[in-house]
Amino acid sequence: MMVDNLLEVNGLTIDYELSGKSFRALDAISFNLERGCVLGVAGESGCGKSTLGLSVIGLLPGKAKIRKGEILFEGRNLVEMKDDQMNREIRGRKISMIFQSPQTALNPVFKIETQMVDVLRNMARYQGENVKNDNVHCRERAIDLLRETGIADPAERISNYPFEFSGGMKQRVMIAMALSSKTSLLIADEPTTSLDVTIGAQIIVLLKELSIKHNTSILYICHDLGILSEIADHIMIMYGGRIFERGKTLDVLGAPRHPYTAALLESLPGRQVRGKHLLSIPGHVPSLDNLPPGCSFHSRCRFAEEICRRKVPPLVEASDRHWSACVLVERRGRQKWG
């Protein structure tokens, strides 16, 4: 079977340089994302999942330095691409991003119309001479996009200001803007975290539908394993800047091969009955400037052995297309914590 990889990340290593010190934020991250698929990235705060998203679209802050590795998008290495070329050909055109808080992503003093037409005219300028880029056409296209993302009365609502939209509607506007070019990769960083459950559910369904309709791949960054279980085809569990486990969503969440994933699943209140204690993983998520040597999880892992303290476990294929970075994986098979 021929796999059509839209995005291939190989050995990506990123350091943050803060006041003369260097912290490893991502350590040898490798994965690929097939065209039209949704890849979920999960992990607790500080695991590097947002850094990963920003690195793919080339929006890392200045203090972040890519040390090693490549990001191949449609076969081209984005790490080596100049910023103006990124702007002209990739960012906002083939790769778009939506963020956690749609209220800060829209400019409060311009109408939705102004902001959307701006984006569309800018897009059209690079799409050849036949593309009409006058205000009237762009406005019509903007209304179509708003309708596609489920805004009622788009022709009326387009002349509103962002404050007249609810959080869910603002996120719909962000999605509409992200779709305004022929986006083949959408990076979604916690897009429903600031929204209510019923509104979040609407947005998840919308993203899934759009992904199928336009064959768009989504890199879906989210701390909520429940959401990823519903939207993602594949899932990646990160911890301390490394990938701990990767595979099909049903495999990873149904039969985890890494103790950390197993522990996370067992600490969710939705799976436990009233009166029984939840699993709480001892210790804290380590900060990046103080990662323990060897496996960064060994100090909290109840199965840790001598070798875990010394050796960084490589990501190995534990079963068919299911990878785990745990030295005990061969001996223990499917992981359970309790």
Partner 1 sequence: MGLDLIEIKNLKVHFFLGKGLLSKLFGKGLSIVHAVDGVNLSIQKGRTFGLVGESGCGKSTLGQAIFRLVESIGGEVLFKGQDVLKMSHKGVRNFREKAQIIFQDQFGCLNPRMTAGQIIAEPLRIYRSLKNDDGDLHQKVSELLEAVNLTPEAALKFPSEFSGGEARRIGVARAIALKPDFIVADEPTSGLDISTAATILNLMQDLQERLDLTYLWISHNIDEVKYMSDDIAVMYLGRVLETGKTQDVFKNMAHPYARALFSAVPKVGAGQRENKILLKGEIPSPINLPSGCRFYSRCSYAEKKCRNEEPQMVDLGSGHYAACSLL
Which positions lie near partner 1, rule CB under 8 A? 44-45, 152, 166, 168-169, 196-202, 204-205, 208, 223-227, 229-231, 249-250, 253-254, 263-265, 267-275, 277-281, 284-285
87 Rama class: left (phi>0) / alpha (psi -120 to 50) / beta:
alpha
The minimum distance between CB 84 and partner 1, in angstroms, equals 38
Taking the complex as a whole, the smallest distance from the CB of residue 295 to partner 1 amounts, in Å, to: 17
Q: Which is nearer to partner 1, 19 or 280 (CB)?
A: 280
Strands in 64-73's sheet, in edge-to-edge order, are: 21-34, 5-18, 64-73, 76-77
Question: How would DSSP label each residue in 259-275?
Answer: HHHHHHHHT-GGGS-TT
To the nearest whole angstrom, how small is the minimum distance from the Cβ of residue 229 to partner 1? 5
Closest approach of partner 1 to the CB of residue 328, in Å:
20
Structure tokens at 92: 């906002």
DSSP letter string, 15-62: EEEETTEEEEEEEEEEEEEETT-EEEEE--TTSSHHHHHHHHHT---T
Least gap, CB of 315 to partner 1 (angstroms): 22
Supply the minimum distance, in Å, between the C-beta of residue 277 and partner 1. 5
Pairing of strands 242-248, 76-77: unpaired
What minimum distance in Å lies between the beta carbon of 175 and partner 1?
A: 16
Query: Is the Cβ of residue 96 or residue 192 nearer to partner 1 in the bound state?
Result: 192
d(CA 330, CA 338): 19
CB nearer partner 1, residue 96 or residue 249 = 249
- Taking Cα atoms as reference points, which of 7, 60, 68, 15 lies closest to residue 37? 7
Tell me which residue of 62, 170, 156, 60 sits closest to 108, measured CA to CA. Answer: 170
92/259 with CB nearer partner 1 = 259
DSSP for residue 89 = I
Identify which of residues 139 and 258 has a Cβ nearer to partner 1 in the complex. Answer: 258
- DSSP code per residue over 293-328: SSSTTTTT-TT--HHHHH-PPP-EEEETTEEE--TT
Q: How far apart are CA 45 and CA 287, in angstroms?
A: 10
Q: Which residue lies nearer to partner 1 by CB, 96 or 261?
A: 261
CB-wise, 179 or 231, nearer to partner 1? 231
Q: Rounded to the nearest whole angstrom, what is the least distance from the CB of residue 58 to partner 1 in the complex?
A: 28
Nearer CB in complex with partner 1: 18/205: 205
Output helix, strand, coil percentages for the chain, rounded to the nearest 5.
35, 25, 40
Check residue 189 and give left, alpha or beta (phi > 0: left; psi -120 to 50: alpha).
beta
Give start and end residues of each alpha helix (H) in 179-293. 197-214, 225-231, 249-254, 259-266
Of 171 and 184, nearer to partner 1 (C-beta) is: 171
Min dist. Cβ of residue 172 to partner 1 (A): 11
